[in-house]
Amino acid sequence: LVLAGIFSMYFHMTLSYVGQLLDELSILWTLAVAYSFWYPRVYFPRCIKSRKHFFWLSGTTTVISTLMSFIKPAFNAYVLNCIAFHLLYLTWCELKKCDDKRVHRTAAGMVVCWVLAISSWISDRWLCGLWQAINFPYLHSFWHVLIAMSLLYCCPLVIYFHVNYEMPSFKPKLGYWPSDSWPIVVPYVTLEEPHKQC
How many C-beta atoms lie closer than 10 Å to residue 111's C-beta? 16
Contacts of 193 (CB under 8 A, 6+ apart): 169, 170, 171
Amino acid identity at 122: I
Contact 26, 49 (CB under 8 A): no
Longest Cα separation, the chain: 72
Q: Residue 53, annotated ligand binder?
A: no
Q: Residue 144, annotated ligand binder?
A: yes
pTM to 2 decimals? Answer: 0.81
Of 74-78, 126-130, 181-185, minimum mean pLDDT range: 74-78
pLDDT tens digits, one per residue of 4-29? 888 888 988 898 888 888 888 888 88
pLDDT tens digits, one per residue of 146-182? 888 888 898 899 899 988 888 888 889 999 999 888 8
Backbone angle region of 146, left / alpha / beta, with phi > 0 → left and psi within -120 to 50 → alpha? alpha
